[in-house]
Amino acid sequence: MAKISVVITTYKRQSDILIRAVKSVLSQTFKDLEVIVVDDNHPQDQPGYGIQTALEGLGDERVRYIAHEENMGAPAARNTGIKNAVGEYICFLDDDDEYYPEKLECQLESLEETGLKMSVCGYDIHDEESGRKRRVMPRFGRGDKGAWLCGRNYIATPNPLIARECFINCGSFDTQMRSAQDLELWIRILAKYDAATVEKALYVQHLHPGERISANPAKQLEGVLRLMEKNEAMLKNHPGARARLRMIVAKRYFQLGEGAKARRMALSAAAWYPPYLFRALALIFFWGKKYGGKG
């Protein structure tokens, strides 16, 4: 029985990049772990990527392979990993990112020292096209942590180490959301549990060309709208958080060429939270100019 289960979901990723992610887990200073790789490719694609063969070549019994019979999406794949995990703690890793060697050890220590059930950390971002690197360190504002994260979410999916009981009491990823599934789950967890922070960069996020939800404004828009709908009651008590999300929605509408909707959403953000008036007007001007302000 492993202490920590690390869930890696993979989709349309070459096996050498996936193996890099898996090796970063197997090389952890904390050794009492298992790696669950959930293959979300369509069955007819599996031979082309050679994932199972590559994993078997590692010769490490801590690695488990699970293949979906059809493509179900990242939230469903992560939920498959959660259901099959045996660890007292669960964390996630995207198939193109890497843990630093001390990630699990540092976060587990933070939970054991504080008695909390969720640990977040800093991380590095490496843009492989430009070669630029930057570091993001964890911080929460005052008050409701879930509300504070709205619009400024620094807890990407590979970030937290979470006790199993959080998933039992708060549920798993919402499979109906096309984006922002991680933020929506963190909000649910933080409504019941506090989080410890490790002020160290413990993993690296690789940015690269190719299909990413983060580069798809339609999927982003759909995800944020559902996030707002599911947290309507909470957002009524946090006008700043509601305004930040509405500003994100306004940007997505501009990107999709729906200028009229974008302007209405930006102005409604300022109506909910007057300190955002100048920001809303600046967004309307600059984003409208950039995307033509159509609609």
DSSP count for the chain of H helices, then E strands = 13, 9
The residue with tokens 């630029």 is 132
Mean of per-residue pLDDT scores for the chain = 92
pTM of the model: 0.92
Identify the pLDDT of residue 118.
97
| Ranges of H-type helices in 150-256 | 164-170, 181-190, 217-230, 232-236, 239-255
- Measuring CA to CA, which residue among 112, 109, 134 is closest to residue 123? 134
Number of neighbouring beta carbons within 10 Å of residue 22: 24
Sorted by sequence, the CB contacts under 8 Å of residue 57 that are 6+ apart come out as none
Where do the structural domains in the chain lie, given as residue ranges? 4-211, 214-291
Q: What is the tens place of the pLDDT at every residue in 200-248?
A: 999 999 997 654 545 689 999 999 999 999 999 999 999 999 999 999 9
Work out the average pLDDT over 116-126: 97
Q: Is the pLDDT of residue 295 over 70?
A: no
Q: How confident is the model at residue 256 (pLDDT cuts 50, 70, 90)?
A: very high
Q: What are the tokens at 107? A: 């976060």
Proportion of the chain in helix, strand, coil states, percent, rounded to 5: 50, 20, 35
DSSP, collapsed to helix, strand or coil, labels residue 134 as strand
CB 249 within 8 A of CB 225: yes
| CATH T-level topology, domain 4-211 | Spore Coat Polysaccharide Biosynthesis Protein SpsA; Chain A (3.90.550)
What is the bridge-based pairing of β-strands 195-207 and 118-127?
A: parallel
- Phi and psi at residue 155, to the nearest 5°: -95, 85
